Structure 1
Amino acid sequence: MSPSYFVVVRCRRLVGELVFTQSSEKMKKLGWKAKLAKLRRELLTPTSKGAGAAGEGFDVTKSGDARVGLVGFPSVGKSTLLNKLTGTFSEVASYEFTTLTCIPGVIMYRGARIQLLDLPGIIEGAKDGKGRGRQVISTARTCNCILIVLDAIKPITHKRLIEKELEGFGIRLNKEPPNLTFRKKEKGGINLTSTVTSTHLDLDTVKAICSEYRIHNADITLRCDATADDLIDVIEGSRIYMPCIYVINKIDQITLEELEILDKLPHYCPISAHLEWNLDGLLDKVWEYLNLTRIYTKPKGMNPDYSDPVILSSRKRTVEDFCDRIHKDMVKQFKNALVWGSSVKHKPQKVGKEHELEDEDVVQIIKKI
């Protein structure tokens, strides 16, 4: 045989070894990624009795129709913003870490009671327990929306650091849960099916991730081009997906050109809490991101009560949800409802308890005789 033949064989063998090594490195990396997610979860929510209550938030009773948390580094203006929006006193000073606990306040806006929490300033490494980071971020997990307050002088650097801390604690900002299903079973191995073209996950990748969780039998169905991180999030099952607004404070200290650059950021709202610039615009944006639904009640033979709407979540806005919000026993007495508004074709229209309501609908409940 010619020498060139042995050269070709050797080249093919080296290529095969390289591909195998790269594949092994990829599997190892995915395994470490899954293992890191497990260890972080165990660190933040320890299972042993002697481990204490790490990961618990501040003891603040949830009240109102929605909860919004102010998150940010020290001295970015969170306390000033709370004072201006709610009239609640939260100490303001020129030194860092003025706020050492959670200060709640209430915003009355468009008929809704919105609880606003001034959380202590977090520091880099908060997700790993530095400072009071676990308490701050644990409380942030209970919110319906997060306002990340950034100093206009250095917003991008702080934005990335805070996102990293929140991500590390299982909070996913301005994202929807990945459209995939994961179901454990007793036997049959790992089965992967996909209704879309998957560019990130294949069967070997899925098996490598599942093995770190000691899962050897499961059915996984992908309905989106999910990543390894998406699959880990679903397996972990403790992720929180919530809307977030990046509040750029102290815009009175920057130039118009710098403000125009910041204007290109998504989910952004410029303000000056001290000078009360654009606070109305911020409230409008908070209302938009909370996506609440106002429903007005109409007693029989009377005009609708527009002064005190029933506030529903956009994800739970059926007539049954409306009844539950008024009183838990109302559904038992429910016969049907008359609805005026954009959710019906006729005004009024008789509907059942499964009917989905729209913002500013008027509802009259008819009880069983």
Structure 2
Amino acid sequence: MSTTVEKIKNIEEEMARTQKNKATSFHLGQLKAKLAKLKRELLTPTSSGGGGGGAGFDVARTGVASVGFIGFPSVGKSTLLSKLTGTHSEAAAYEFTTLTTVPGVIMYRGAKIQMLDLPGIIEGAKDGKGRGRQVIAVARTCNLIFVVLDVNKPLEHKKIIERELEGFGIRINKEPPNILFKKKERGGINITNTVPLTHLDNDEIRAVMGEYRINSADIHFRCDATVDELIDILEAQNRRYISVIYCLNKIDSISIEELDLLYRIPNAVPISSEHGWNLDELLEEMWKKLNLVRVYTKPKGQQPDYEQPIILRNGRSTVQHFCNQIHKSLVEEFKTACVYGQSVKHQPQYVGLAHELMDEDVVTILKR
């Protein structure tokens, strides 16, 4: 009996042999949907199927956000963790020095951020090679991923790691596709779109729906989606959209001309973890990607507390979120909030619970 990995390989080979045209679109849609369902089995294997969390991969979470370090063995992840957090993570000039997740913490701009040095992965990690599933399973829970690459080795490593992460349901530096999907009891498949669909036709859409045994649904496309993006919507519970920064390590071993080329790579920061070069820029990019909001408290009649800001997530940064971070009883006793900063037109301005706060706003809560 074929294993899940073998079934995946067979489908991928069949897809490679099949030329895409109008006559084959239905069949290709079915194959892609089958492939996604099989990969889901690898994401959530049964206890008998192996690939579980494993010893040493359960890490107590702390801080307002977590950053996972992913990369091939011996690219400098452990040295980078040590430089940024002061945490000792075993580092040596041979492969697979780190065999478990090593956590560290950095205080940056008043925010406590956890960093996780994960064991090196190898090609085929998503299929269970090495301890790949365990490594990527931890990465799926992070708010940001540092993909650490050795600039002395081909940047094909970047493509391999991207393929491994994508195969595990992680969508890198992407937003969820703008597709509205709603299952119905009856009425068949109703397909509408506000932009032309150049990558999908109705046969492919119906093939995918059929493979998922969805007979009635409303599907509205607000983007020029691919069949993979449609499947991502159907597999939404198994998809994670995570920002990635490519840490191009060991720049101390290349020329200035080569360094200039590295800066053209999107979402990349050239660094030297051994010498501590350019780590300030890396942390600045980390802060932008995490999209955190610092809000300073100002008790009535006192100076603002600039030492310990309340950290909120962008998109969850209303005055109500701010109150809940301090104490839930504040919402019940809330009368108004006096706000100074970028989020208001007048300095100060009185606002309600629904007001969206911005980075470095100063807030006084007035109770009833």
TM-score by length of structure 1 reads 0.91
- Give the match's secondary structure for 2:33: helix
Which residues of 2 match residues 158-177 of structure 1 at below 5 A? 158-177=157-176
Deviations 1:233-258 (A, max 9, x none): 00011211111100000011112222
Partner of 2:205: 206
Deviation at 1:331, TM superposition (A): 1.6
Q: CA deviation at 1:294?
A: 0.5
Aligned-pair identity in percent equals 62
Alignment-derived partner of residue 142 in structure 1: 141
Equivalent position of 1:223 in the other structure: 222
Displacement of 1:333: 2.0
Is 1:102–1:119's contact at 8 Å kept on the other side of the alignment? Answer: yes
Code of the aligned partner of 1:71 = I
Bigger radius of gyration, 1 or 2?
Answer: 1
What's the CA shift string for 1:203-254, capped at 9, x where partnerless?
A: 2211011111111111101111111110000001121111110000001111
Superimposed CA distance per residue, residues 121-173 of structure 1 (whole angstroms, 9 cap, x where no aligned partner): 01111111111111111110111111000000125211000000000011011
The residue that corresponds to 1:131 in the other structure is 130
Letter in 1 for 2:219: I
Asked if 2 retains the 8 angstrom alpha-carbon contact of 1:44 and 1:55, the reply is no
Give RMSD over aligned pairs.
1.7
Contact 2:73–2:120 (Cα < 8 Å) also in 1: yes
**Aligned match of 2:59:** 60
Quick one: distance in 2 between partners of 1:304 and 1:222? 47
- Asked whether 1:318 is paired with 2:318, we answer yes
- Going from structure 1 to structure 2, the CA distance change for 1:347 and 1:53 (only over 3 Å counts) comes to same
Report what 1:118 is aligned to.
117
In 1, Cα distance between equivalents of 2:20 and 2:84: 58
AA paired with 1:321? H
Structure 1 pair 254–21 and aligned structure 2 pair: CA distance change class (3 A): closer
Counterpart contact for 1:91–1:99, Cα < 8 Å: yes
The gaps in structure 2 that reach 5 residues or longer are: 1-18
| SS of residue paired to 1:23 | coil
State the 1:279 CA deviation: 0.8
Which digits, 9 at most, give the CA deviation of each residue in 1:39-71, with x for residues without a partner? Answer: 11012213x564467368921122111111110
Distance 1:36 1:184 in 2: 22
Q: What amino acid is the match of 1:135?
A: Q
**Mapped contact 2:30–2:204 kept (Cα < 8 A):** no
Match of 1:100 in 2: 99
Check the 8 A contact 1:145/1:243 in 2, yes or no. Answer: yes
State the Cα deviation string for residues 296-322 of structure 1 (Å, max 9, x = none). 001111111001001111121100111
CA contact (8 A) 2:336 2:367 kept: yes
> Paired residues, what number?
348
Q: Which amino acid aligns with 2:257?
A: E
Q: Partner amino acid for 1:166?
A: L
> What's the TM-score once normalised by structure 2's chain length?
0.91
Q: Hey, what does 1:6 align to over in structure 2?
A: none
Structure 1: distance between partners of 2:343 and 2:251: 41
Aligned mates of 1:86, 1:139 — CA distance in 2: 19
Give the match for residue 342 of structure 1.
342
Alpha-carbon separation, structure 1, partners of 2:362 and 2:346: 13
Are the structure 2 counterparts of residues 155 and 278 from structure 1 closer, same or farther at C-alpha, using a change threshold of 3 Å?
Answer: farther
**Cross-structure match for 1:3:** none
In the alignment, structure 1 segments of 5+ residues that lack a partner are: 1-19
Equivalent residue, structure 2, for 1:327? 327
Letter in 2 for 1:54: G
Query: Deviation string for 1:308-347 (max 9, x for gaps)?
Result: 0011111211001111112233222222211111111122
